[in-house]
Amino acid sequence: MNPAANLILVGPTGAGKSCIGRRLAEHYGLRLVDLDRAIEQCTGAAIPVIFDCEGEAGFRVRESAALADALSEKGPAKSGMVLAVGAGAVLDQDNRRMMRKGGFVVHLQATPDQQLSRLAHDTTRPLLQREDREAVLQAMAVERGPLYAEMADLAFDTGGLDSGAATKALLKRLDEEWKRMEPA
The number of beta carbons lying within 10 Å of the beta carbon of residue 171 is 15
| CATH entry, 6-175, from 1.10.3720.10, 3.40.50.300, 3.20.20.140, 3.40.50.2300 | 3.40.50.300
User: What number is the average pLDDT over the span 34-43?
Assistant: 96
Answer whether residue 102 shows pLDDT above 90: yes
User: Has 132 been labeled as part of a binding site?
Assistant: no
Under the phi-then-psi rule, with left for phi > 0, alpha for psi from -120 to 50, and beta for the rest, what region is 14?
A: left
Mean pLDDT in residue range 56-61: 95
The answer on whether 100 is annotated among ligand-binding residues is: no
Q: Would you say 144 is a known binding-site residue?
A: yes
Query: Mean per-residue pLDDT for 90-116?
Result: 91
DSSP state at residue 11: -
53 annotated binding-site participant:
no
Whole-structure pTM value: 0.89
Is residue 60 a known part of a binding site?
Answer: yes
Write out pLDDT tens, residues 120-170. 666 676 656 677 778 888 888 999 999 999 999 999 999 888 889 999 999
Is 55 part of any known ligand binding site?
no
Strand order in the sheet with 6-10: 31-34, 81-84, 6-10, 104-109, 154-157
Cα separation, 86 vs 140, whole angstroms: 13
Q: Is 58 annotated as a binding residue?
A: no
Assess contact for 34 and 84: CB atoms under 8 A: yes
Distances (CA, A) of 176 to 26, 27, 58, 179: 19, 16, 40, 5
Give backbone dihedrals phi and psi of 8, rounded to 5 degrees, phi first: -115, 125
Which is more confidently placed, 178 or 119?
178
- The CA R_g of the chain, rounded to the nearest whole Å, is 16
pLDDT-derived band at 35 (thresholds 50, 70, 90) equals: very high
Which helix (H) or strand (E) element contains residue 156?
A: strand 154-157
Consult the annotation and say whether 19 binds a ligand: yes
DSSP secondary structure code for residue 33 in this structure? E
Q: Where are the domains of the chain?
A: 6-175
